[in-house]
Structure 1
Amino acid sequence: MAFLEIDRLVKRFGATEVLKGIDLSVEEGGFLVLVGPSGCGKSTLLSMIAGLDTISDGEVRINGRRVNELHPSQRDIAMVFQSYALYPNMTVAENIAFGLEMRGVPKAEREVAVAKVAETLQMGHLLKRKPSQLSGGQRQRVAMGRALVRDPQVFLFDEPLSNLDAKLRVDMRTEIKRLHQRMGTTIVYVTHDQIEAMTLATKIAVLKDGVLQQFGTPAEVYNNPVNVFVADFMGSPSMNIMPAAIRSENGKTVVALARKDEDDLVLDPGPASERLGGSIGQTVLFGIRPEAITDHDGADRNARTLVDVDCHVDVVEPAGSDTFVVTSLGGKHVIARMRSDAAVKSGGRAPFSFNMDKAVFFDPKTEKRVA
């Protein structure tokens, strides 16, 4: 049975419905990441789980118990906010212990609990400092310690890393992942950063305009997006999506991409061929990740359908371990991810290897997946 269950959850502000029947479930010890653009409803959903926002319809259950009417203090959850919300006049140790003190936990027990958390987060040397003496990453670690010390059933994180610089975000992301692996507590984590979602989650929920678009493992959401929004939102660089004509040539279904001043690029659709049979003569949206378009020597040798074609090179972007190469297909800029030493030059031509095992196709009107 799921440990945290969100059942047909609805939130209304007056006549405006901002969450529209959300269904999610998280196993005990799972790491659920709520991801989506600003204003999609993910922080509102987190607040409803926490009890900071009322529920208009539906249910939230924790370990089988309905918590809709319970006060936040009775839900056995702990929350880490985007802002650190530390008491500036207290030391790190006092900030961490404050919640326990308010619950009447004896001083000796508080000190043991603080020492344990400080060891877990490797911040024993900071316990006597005030928040003004800490870096951003250290302050966020204290905020996490204040939540950890309570040993709750569920941790809620509301964009906890958004105030940190890029390098520190990566470091803290690793710290949170390590912490989860060590403690095994159920976590619900809100972010608009899909890289955070992919690296941290056991399950991802993608939201848009208050509607759950897709719920699954990171691999499911990344490799098998159910619609154009999920395909475009997840991944960096995002998925290449371009119009393509579905044709029949010599009794086989093919994908044709328009090119400026030259013949169409014709591709074997690979595993999607049978499902595209009903779309012959129509235009669909063809999606393929940058890493599925590469130089021939860098292509996946286990792929069943590799198609090598020469394309014009518009832009070359060296990125250290990779080289991003831009061409134009179907009237769109298409990004290929090649090896760092791939022999490509702007303005010239180069062989591109398409791994059509990774291709996906969408209806241009509904933007839903068709193959």
Structure 2
Amino acid sequence: MSFLHINNIKKRFGDTTVLKGIDIAIEKGDFLVLVGPSGCGKSTLLNMIAGLDSISEGELLLNGERINELHPARRDIAMVFQSYALYPSMTVAGNIGFGLEMRKVPKAQRREAIQKVARMLQIESLLDRKPGQLSGGQRQRVAMGRALVRDPQLFLFDEPLSNLDAKLRVDMRTEIKQLHQRLNTTIVYVTHDQIEAMTLATRIAVMRAGELQQLGTPQEVYDDPSNLFVAGFMGSPSMNLLRADIVRHEGVLHARVRKRDEDALMLPIERDAEALAGWEGREVILGIRPEAITDPASAHHDGRIFEAELEVELVEPTGADMYVVTHLGGREINARMRPGTDISAGTPTRFAFDVSRMVAFDPDSEARIRHT
């Protein structure tokens, strides 16, 4: 039996259904990230798990126990909020130990638990300070300490890093991941940042407009997207999506993609060839990640590499990589090349396509075309 089972959960506000039957099961020790754009329902679902919002339909099971009607204080769940929600008049030690005090935990035991968590989060020197004397990252550590000191069955994080600057967000992300690995805790984490999701999760649930689009490991969601939304949402830069016709050329199935000069690029189909054979003579949306389009010297030859000459429109060095924009299939596409590759805008350049990584989607339903 799953440790946490969100079983066909629905949420209605009057006549409006904001969660439309979410079904997710995770095991003890999993790090589940709920990711999606603003308004997709991920925070509402988190609040329902915490008991801060009622469930309109469905069942919520934690370690085999139905908790739909259980009071939040009795769920053995700790939540870390986006706003930190610290008491400004209390010291750091007081904030961390407040929940234990409310549960009548003896003072000596509270002090020991606070010290243990403070050592873990490296905030021992801050225990006598007030929240107003702390930086954003320090406040976030205190909020995490308040949750950790309870040693609950389940941790919930509601966009905890969104108020931090870019560098601190990366640092705190690393700390949260290390904390999870060290304690083997079960976490449900909400974010709209897909890089955060890919970095932290053992399982990702991609949501859109109150519906679950895909549930899987970070690699599954990235390499094997179930539909156009997941393909476009996960990844930075996102997957290139371009129109192509499925044709048979010299006995081999190809994706024919229009170039800017009205000529066509013929990319041999490697993946899902059996399913795509049924699309011969029809148009699909072809998806290919920027890193699967590169300079020939950088191409991974364990895949099937197809080279073509295209004109470079823009070069964007980022230090670790160099992104190159060209035009294909009626739109701009991104390629990722080695830093320092000798190319410039306006010049024809050889691009290497790893066609083994191409995926295709139905233009009408937006679903992935694959073997069933």
Same fold (TM over 0.5): yes
Equivalent in the alignment of 2:341: 342
Equivalent in the alignment of 1:272: 272
1:312 aligns with 2:311: yes
Contact 2:51 2:70 in 1 (8 A): yes
Q: How far apart are the structure 1 equivalents of 2:16 and 2:274?
A: 43
Equivalent in the alignment of 1:321: 320
Q: How far apart are the structure 1 equivalents of 2:55 and 2:261?
A: 57
Q: How far apart are the structure 1 equivalents of 2:166 and 2:8?
A: 36
Equivalent in the alignment of 2:364: 365
Equivalent in the alignment of 1:246: 246
> Which amino acid in the other structure matches residue 93 of structure 1?
A
Q: How far apart are the structure 1 equivalents of 2:276 and 2:216?
A: 25
1:113 aligns with 2:96: no
Equivalent in the alignment of 1:4: 4
Equivalent in the alignment of 2:236: 236
Equivalent in the alignment of 1:332: 331
Equivalent in the alignment of 1:143: 143
Q: How far apart are the structure 1 equivalents of 2:360 and 2:116?
A: 51
Structure 2 SS opposite 1:271: coil
Equivalent in the alignment of 1:192: 192
Q: How far apart are the structure 2 equivalents of 1:178 and 1:171?
A: 11
Equivalent in the alignment of 1:58: 58
Equivalent in the alignment of 2:354: 355
Q: How far apart are the structure 2 equivalents of 1:185 and 1:118?
A: 17
Offset from partner CA, 1:168-223 (integer Å, 9 cap, x none): 00000000000000111100000000001001001000000000000011111000
Q: How far apart are the structure 2 equivalents of 1:213 and 1:162?
A: 23
User: How many pairs align?
Assistant: 370
Equivalent in the alignment of 1:34: 34
Q: How far apart are the structure 1 equivalents of 2:272 and 2:50?
A: 43
Offset from partner CA, 1:217-270 (integer Å, 9 cap, x none): 111100000000000000000000000011111111111111122411111122
Q: Displacement of 1:37 after TM fit?
A: 0.3
Q: Displacement of 1:76 after TM fit?
A: 0.2
> Which amino acid in the other structure matches residue 186 of structure 2?
T
Regions of 4+ moved over 6 Å: none
Query: TM-score, normalised on structure 2?
Result: 0.98
Q: Within 5 A, what are the aligned runs for 1:15-30? A: 15-30=15-30
Q: Displacement of 1:18 after TM fit?
A: 0.4
Q: How far apart are the structure 1 equivalents of 2:354 and 2:180?
A: 35
Q: Within 5 A, what are the aligned runs for 1:78-227? A: 78-227=78-227
Distance 1:231 1:62, change over 3 A: same
Contact 2:272 2:369 in 1 (8 A): no
Percent of pairs with identical residues: 63
Please provide the CA RMSD for this pair.
0.8
Structure 2 SS opposite 1:73: helix
Q: How far apart are the structure 2 equivalents of 1:153 and 1:173?
A: 21
Q: How far apart are the structure 2 equivalents of 1:309 and 1:179?
A: 46
> Which amino acid in the other structure matches residue 223 of structure 1?
D
Structure 1 SS opposite 2:342: coil
Deviates more, 1:251-260 or 1:91-100: 251-260
Q: Displacement of 1:275 after TM fit?
A: 2.3
Q: How far apart are the structure 1 equivalents of 2:242 and 2:262?
A: 17
Contact 1:254 1:273 in 2 (8 A): no
> Which amino acid in the other structure matches residue 336 of structure 2?
R
Q: How far apart are the structure 1 equivalents of 2:283 and 2:271?
A: 18
Q: Displacement of 1:274 after TM fit?
A: 2.8
Q: How far apart are the structure 2 equivalents of 1:118 and 1:284?
A: 55
Structure 2 SS opposite 1:279: coil
- List runs of 5+ in structure 2 lacking aligned partners: none
Offset from partner CA, 1:302-357 (integer Å, 9 cap, x none): 11x11011111010111101110000111111000000022211000111000011
Contact 2:51 2:71 in 1 (8 A): yes
Structure 2 SS opposite 1:281: coil
Q: How far apart are the structure 2 equivalents of 1:249 and 1:114?
A: 69
Q: How far apart are the structure 1 equivalents of 2:302 and 2:249?
A: 26
Contact 1:206 1:230 in 2 (8 A): yes
Contact 2:50 2:72 in 1 (8 A): yes
Q: How far apart are the structure 1 equivalents of 2:240 and 2:127?
A: 49
Q: How far apart are the structure 2 equivalents of 1:363 and 1:102?
A: 56
Q: Within 5 A, what are the aligned runs for 1:60-75? A: 60-75=60-75
Q: How far apart are the structure 2 equivalents of 1:48 and 1:274?
A: 42
Q: How far apart are the structure 1 equivalents of 2:137 and 2:70?
A: 33
Offset from partner CA, 1:37-70 (integer Å, 9 cap, x none): 0000000000000000000000111100000010
Q: Displacement of 1:73 after TM fit?
A: 0.4
> Which amino acid in the other structure matches residue 192 of structure 1?
H
Contact 1:78 1:156 in 2 (8 A): yes
